[in-house]
Structure 1
Amino acid sequence: LSPDQLILLLESLLEQKTLSPQTLRSLQWTYHLQEQDAEVRHRWCELIVKHKHVKAYAHVERFLQEDQAMGVYLYGELMVSEDARQRQLAHRCFALVKEQMDRASAQVVAEMLF
């Protein structure tokens, strides 16, 4: 699939209430989602967060470190989660990248986290 088609697929999957870990693993394996462009990886990370797919948290961590400007929304998603591991992931990633982020983005994320 092209990146645009993958985005449409992932956006439609984001509307689903639940997806099994097996489905998420199959998506990841079939489409190599962690190797796609930033737009596709962003949607993939949203699915990981929404469905608490712990085995793919490393993909979220990588995205937050490499695509800092696009990651601001994901920090918000991680912080509204009831899952302490997701909130810890947000704090850990921000601690690693806050000095490299542009000031406006860093300030927005800091307000979400603290």
Structure 2
Amino acid sequence: LLPDQLVLLLERLLEEKTLTLPTLQTLQRTYHLHEQDAEVRHRWCELIVKHKYTSAYEQVERFLQEDQAMGVYLYGELMVGEDARQQQLARRCFELAKGQMDRSSAEVVAEMLF
């Protein structure tokens, strides 16, 4: 699929209440989502967070390190739930990335995290 088609597919899947682990694994293998452009990887990271796909958290971490401008929303998603592991991931990523982020983004993320 083309990147725009993958974005559309992932956006549709984000509307689903639950996705099983095998479904997420198949998506990842079939479309090599961690190798796609930032728009696709952003939606993929949203799915990872929404469905607590813990074995793919390193992909969220990579996204937050490499695509800081697009990651602000993702920090919010990590903090919304009561999942301590996701919140810890968000804080760790922010500590690593805040020096490279533009000031306004860093301030917004800091407010979400602390």
TM over 0.5: yes
Deviations 1:16-49 (A, max 9, x none): 0000011000000000000000000000000000
* Structure 2 counterpart of 1:11: 11
Match of 2:44 in 1: 44
Query: Separation in 1 of the partners of 2:81 and 2:88?
Result: 11
Partner SS for 1:71: helix
Question: Structure 1 residue runs of 4+, over 3 Å off?
Answer: none
Aligned pairs, number: 114
User: Which amino acid in 2 is paired with 1:37?
Assistant: D
List runs of 5+ in structure 2 lacking aligned partners.
none
What are the within-5 Å matches in structure 2 for residues 43-82 of structure 1? 43-82=43-82
Shift of 1:81: 1.4
Letter in 2 for 1:43: R
Equivalent residue number for residue 90 of structure 1? 90
Bigger fraction of residues in helix: 2
What secondary structure is seen at the aligned counterpart in 2 of 1:52? Answer: coil
C-alpha distance in 2, partners of 1:70/1:5? 19
TM-score (norm 1): 0.99
1:89-114 CA-partner distances (Å, limit 9, x unpaired): 00000000101100000000000001
Consecutive unaligned residues of structure 1, counting only runs of 5 or more, are none
